[in-house]
Amino acid sequence: MKFGINTFLFTFPFTHDSTRWFQTFKKWGFDAVEIAIDDPAAIDPARVRAELDKAGLSCCSVCGAFGPDRDLRGTPEAQANSRAYITTLIDQAVVLGAPVVAGPVYSAVGRRNAEEPKAKREQWRTVVKNLKPLCKHAANRGVEICVEPLNRFETDFINTVDQVLELIEDVGSPALKVHLDTFHMNIEEKNQAAAIKKAGKLLRHFHACGCDRGTPGNDHIAWDEIAAALKKVKYDGAVVIESFTQDVKIIAAAAAIWRQIEPSREEIATKGLKFLRKVLA
């Protein structure tokens, strides 16, 4: 099991200058980095890969950033933009050595409406239709697309592991897998350990975050139960700290971080990693 850190906590948008954090991440004891790419044109993935290699780190995943103009259930233009974006992320993941493209690939984050059942079914069919060629491309490139359920305040589309599993079944591609996040599960799942077990072998990516978006372990989440569940399903993917502070303003606004949750982002990273290595050993 590798332990990673998401770049959202320290830099956004991700550029070549952002690679200066890699040596620090290595010094803190991380094995890997999850790179959140907003503008694929802003980086040369080969150059970023060289910086990862220099620091002795791997890229465990590429994380997407899905705004209103990237929406697989949106307008035809938004769908086309999202397909092109995800295709590029898959191609960049190959160069970066990342096995996974992760996140809420199905929709723009923040889109939440009380949709009529008929409209919701049509949106579902649209997402399935869009994901099929993307998954085919991912399979051809040796990359998996991991779908992340978000909480009800961030999406009305996929909130639970059950919904992700239904989507995977409808798309019917071996390249489509499950991505779970302890923050979102804390809101939406009755029992996080049970959700992990339900995902089973389809769970290929995992975010560790405090119940308040803070430090893993400095919260009320049942981490021992989560550890047991990950062991039960023989999870061997990356465990990535994806927490937020007010330091990166655009991400703080998007994630509704209105106050100082932890003393510092360094503490989130270092204390969170120490806790996760202990509880998941």
What per-residue confidence (pLDDT) applies to 32?
98
Q: CA 165, CA 144: separation in Å to the nearest integer?
A: 15
Q: CA 167, CA 105: separation in Å to the nearest integer?
A: 12
Among the listed ranges 5-9, 141-145, 158-162, 256-260, which one has the minimum average pLDDT value?
256-260
What per-residue confidence (pLDDT) applies to 200?
98
What per-residue confidence (pLDDT) applies to 77?
98
Strand-pair partners of 59: 33
| b/e sequence 221-243, b meaning 16+ C-beta within 10 Å | bebeebbebbeeeebebbbbbbb
**Active-site residue, from 148, 154, 188, 189:** 148
Q: Whole-number mean pLDDT of the chain?
A: 96
Output the CA–CA distances (angstroms, integers) from residue 38 to 8, 11, 115, 276, 281, in the order listed. 10, 11, 28, 28, 33
Residues 6+ apart with CB under 8 A from 142: 94, 99
Task: Give the rounded percent of residues in the chain with a pLDDT score beyond 90.
Answer: 91
The per-residue pLDDT for range 64-98, each reduced to its tens digit, is 999 999 999 999 999 999 999 999 999 999 999 99
Q: CA 117, CA 99: separation in Å to the nearest integer?
A: 35
Active-site residue, 266 included: no
What per-residue confidence (pLDDT) applies to 86?
98
The per-residue pLDDT for range 194-231, each reduced to its tens digit, is 999 999 999 999 999 999 999 999 999 999 999 999 99
The per-residue pLDDT for range 111-167, each reduced to its tens digit, is 999 889 999 999 999 999 999 999 999 999 999 999 999 999 999 999 999 999 999
Residues 6+ apart with CB under 8 A from 11: 17, 18, 21, 248
Domains of the chain and any CATH numbers:
2-279 (3.20.20.150)
The per-residue pLDDT for range 19-70, each reduced to its tens digit, is 999 999 999 999 999 999 999 999 999 999 999 999 999 999 999 999 999 9
Q: Is 229 left (phi over 0), alpha (psi -120 to 50) or beta?
A: alpha
**Active-site residue, from 144, 188, 242, 262:** 242
Contact predicate 189/222, CB 8 Å: no
Active-site residue, 169 included: no
* Model pTM above 0.85: yes
Q: Does residue 248 register a pLDDT over 80? A: no
